[in-house]
């Protein structure tokens, strides 16, 4: 296997709040290889977004405290100076945000916002930058890019804006593109267009993608591997097909069970997971899912945080009582 481009080891993020310390990320480890798509899925508040913001050094410290190690091409990112961070943001890693309505500066033209990262990282300005910006807009499927380059964000629709965001992310040819709920705010047809676009661009440009989402449907269509996140920890890591076919963690099973499947022979009522995700200020002892878990033994589960254990070929889960595979 190739050398991973990104190696995250025991990443932890805490926030000092008025109510106490919020433990949002409690030690996650993963690797990302060049050209692959890793999906991180989880409910709202499971720490997905904070986890990737920490990767880019975009959390305000304080109130945040980031610990652990993030190796990008062998370079440790945690503890970098703001100048060193800037050289990585945009060029090494770029990010697309959830809501395209708010992630473009309303008083700057599309062209300005596309050219800015090029000017910052590649020193491309003037006519050359404009040409490249038009190329990028064309690449992300915006028709008549020459006309659109002078437009302001409010003149574009949501789907168009997200395309522009992607173009901005791609401006400096990053190794890693992080899509933080990039399709959540879009309607379903546009969602499909955007996921297809990213997949296509990934193939063409050979970058790695981290796709943060709570939508398992999106995951199935684009990801190579999936990490399931809950309470600031990974519950299960698997190749995408393995995860859908043989979930080993009760939480994954619950998530998959709560997706409506037309034409399936399931009972009509959708499954739900009782209870709420844990409050990061008052994290339960032991497995964070244990208070909601149907398989919890009420003993070990509530005391001991389960280790991530290998359950087969590149499949692992953090559970004391993983679900058995029924053949």
Closer CB to another protein, 151 or 224, in the complex: 151
**Interface with another protein: number of residues (CB under 8 A):** 47
- Is residue 219 within 8 A of residue 41, CB to CB? The reply is yes
Residue 4 binds another protein (CB under 8 A):
no
- Is residue 220 within 8 A of residue 245, CB to CB? The reply is no
For the sheet with 93-96, list strands across it: 93-96, 176-180, 208-213, 37-41, 225-230, 233-239, 316-317, 309-310
Q: 10 Å Cβ neighbour count for 266? A: 12
Report the nearest approach of another protein to the CB of residue 37 (Å). Answer: 19
Residue 171 binds another protein (CB under 8 A):
yes
Q: Which of 26, 37, 113, 162 binds another protein (CB under 8 A)?
A: 113
Closer CB to another protein, 91 or 284, in the complex: 91
**Of the candidates 106, 134, 100, the residue with the CA atom closest to the CA atom of residue 118:** 134
Part in contact with another protein (CB under 8 A); list of ranges 17-25, 92-100, 224-232, 286-294: 92-100
Residue 126 binds another protein (CB under 8 A):
no
Residue 179 binds another protein (CB under 8 A):
no
- The string of DSSP codes covering 207-261 is -EEEEEES-HHHHHHH-SEEEEEETTEEEEEEEHHHHHH---SHHHHHHHHTS--
Residues 6+ apart with CB under 8 A from 52: 40, 95, 178, 180, 210, 212
Q: Output the CA–CA distances (angstroms, integers) from residue 138 to 164, 174, 197, 222, 311, in the order listed.
A: 10, 18, 12, 22, 44
Q: Which of 17, 65, 125, 144 binds another protein (CB under 8 A)?
A: 144
Task: Write a three-state SS string for 173-210.
Answer: CCCEEEEECCCCCCCHHHHHHHHHHHHHHHHHHCCEEE
What is the CB-side half-sphere exposure of residue 285 using CA atoms within 13 A?
A: 6
Q: Which of 2, 107, 264, 327 binds another protein (CB under 8 A)?
A: 107
Closer CB to another protein, 82 or 327, in the complex: 82
Report the nearest approach of another protein to the CB of residue 49 (Å). Answer: 11
Report the nearest approach of another protein to the CB of residue 236 (Å). Answer: 28
H or E stretch covering 129 = helix 126-139
Closer CB to another protein, 147 or 261, in the complex: 147
Residue 168 binds another protein (CB under 8 A):
yes
Residue 56 binds another protein (CB under 8 A):
yes
Residue 157 binds another protein (CB under 8 A):
yes
Residue 87 binds another protein (CB under 8 A):
yes
Q: Which of 28, 104, 110, 129 binds another protein (CB under 8 A)?
A: 104
Part in contact with another protein (CB under 8 A); list of ranges 66-74, 97-105, 220-228, 287-295: 97-105
Q: Which of 14, 48, 148, 237 binds another protein (CB under 8 A)?
A: 148
Closer CB to another protein, 15 or 97, in the complex: 97
> Roughly what angle, to the nearest 10 degrees, separates helices 158-170 and 110-121?
10
Residue located via tokens 């062209």: 111
List residues binding another protein (CB under 8 A).
56, 58, 82-83, 86-91, 94-95, 97-99, 102-108, 113, 116-117, 120-121, 141-144, 147-148, 152, 154-160, 165, 168-169, 171-172, 190
């Amino acid at each position: 296997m190739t050398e991973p481009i990104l190696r995250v080891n025991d990443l932890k993020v805490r926030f000092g709040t008025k109510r106490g310390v919020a433990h949002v990320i409690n030690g996650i480890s993963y690797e990302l290889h060049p050209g692959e798509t890793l999906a991180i899925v989880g409910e709202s508040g499971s720490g997905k977004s904070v986890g990737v913001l920490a990767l880019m050094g975009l959390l305000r410290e304080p109130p945040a405290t980031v610990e652990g190690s993030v190796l990008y091409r062998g370079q440790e990112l945690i503890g970098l100076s703001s100048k060193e961070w800037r050289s990585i943001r945009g060029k090494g890693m770029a990010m697309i945000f959830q809501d395209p309505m708010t992630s473009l500066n309303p008083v700057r033209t599309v062209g300005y916002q596309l050219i800015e990262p090029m000017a910052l990282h590649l020193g491309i300005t003037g006519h050359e930058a404009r040409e490249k910006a038009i190329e990028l807009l064309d690449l992300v499927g915006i028709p008549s890019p020459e006309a659109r380059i002078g437009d302001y964000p409010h003149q574009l629709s949501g789907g168009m804006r997200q395309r522009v965001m992607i173009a901005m992310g791609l401006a400096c040819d990053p190794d890693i593109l992080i899509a933080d709920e990039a399709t959540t705010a879009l309607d379903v047809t546009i969602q499909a267009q955007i996921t297809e676009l990213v997949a296509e661009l990934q193939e063409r440009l050979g970058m790695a993608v981290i796709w943060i989402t709570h939508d398992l449907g999106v995951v199935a269509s684009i990801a190579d591997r999936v990490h399931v996140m809950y309470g600031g920890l990974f519950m299960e890591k698997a190749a995408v097909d393995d995860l859908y076919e043989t979930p080993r963690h009760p939480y994954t099973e619950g998530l998959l069970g709560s997706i409506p499947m037309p034409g399936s022979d399931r009972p009509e009522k959708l499954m739900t997971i009782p209870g709420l995700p844990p409050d990061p200020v008052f994290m339960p002892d032991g497995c964070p899912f244990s208070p909601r878990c149907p398989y919890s033994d009420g003993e070990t589960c509530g005391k001991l945080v389960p280790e991530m254990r290998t359950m087969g070929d590149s499949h692992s889960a953090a559970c004391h009582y993983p679900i058995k595979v029924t053949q």
